[in-house]
Amino acid sequence: MSELVEPILDWYDAHARDLPWRREGASAWSVMVSEFMLQQTPVVRVLPVHEAWLERWPTPADLAAESSGEAVRAWGRLGYPRRALRLHAAAVAIVEEHAGVVPDSYDVLLALPGVGDYTAAAIASFAYRQRHVVLDTNVRRVLGRTVSGVEFPARSVTKAERLVAAELLPADAPTAATWSVAVMELGALVCTADRPRCESCPVVTLCAWHGAGRPAYDGPARTVQTYAGTDRQCRGRLLAVLRDAPGSVPKTQLDAAWDLADQRERCLASLLADGLVVEAGDGRYALP
């Protein structure tokens, strides 16, 4: 399996995208913000929001000093806005417990609000050049195809996947950190979920899946996300009204944002329960 490492590193050296959180001198906070924003959101949508966020809040302390509602407002239309609340909560914890410095320990990062295994490993690897197994969707797909010969990995990370990833991880910590982001980039640009560009892959001759004739996925049905007409869309419409308002808005303004009353009321209740919206009194609503 070690034969995969050098050609993928060489490919990354020649083809890596110039992303602000990867540049020399990028802060650990920039890396952390990018990891929160990139969850289930493509890079092209994240770039302008990340830039605006870092300009407004260049440190965790800057964000922690503002209300969580301002974080939701600045999140804009990235989707899954609970990530904004969690990032704000993490910034508060970093200020209160770590003197405003993003921790460099995987275990300490894991204890922050909104930080799971992947995010903790990614921040420790990409911000602090440490050696950790970093398994996102792209990495899992690349390793599943090249090593295990399957088109798509299982729905959740398996022990076997972790073992494969750990065995491939270079011993040198900085090289391991580069390897992790290189595999991720290969999955994002070449070994994509749909229409993979095998002709451009630096390890196509070593790929078990390609060598087996690219057998079709035969596991459980893959979930295809829809958006139009869903509660996600309804919640987004309601939040958009509040984001665009300087203060609280009357209930009638929210009612005008979505025609289906039952769905609208259900979604408003869920936004209140999630802490993304608060009641401001007199039948008015606002961001927290």
Q: Which residues are catalytic?
A: 35
What is the torsional sign of CA 255, 261, 263, 269?
positive
Residue 257's nearest CA partner among 268, 243, 279, 241 is 241
End-to-end CA distance of the chain: 50
Q: Please provide residue 286's backbone torsions phi and psi, each rounded to the nearest 5 degrees.
A: -155, 170
- In the three-class reduction of DSSP (H, G, I as helix; E, B as strand; rest coil), residue 31 is classed as helix
Residue 237's nearest CA partner among 254, 249, 251, 250 is 254
- In the three-class reduction of DSSP (H, G, I as helix; E, B as strand; rest coil), residue 149 is classed as coil
The answer to whether the beta carbons of residues 197 and 187 sit under 8 Å apart is no
DSSP lists the bridge partners of residue 250 as 284
The answer to whether the beta carbons of residues 243 and 76 sit under 8 Å apart is yes
Residue 91's nearest CA partner among 30, 19, 158 is 30
Radius of gyration of the CA atoms of the chain, in A: 21
Cβ contacts of 230 within 8 Å, gap of 6 or more:
none
> What would the two tokens of residue 130 be?
């440490």
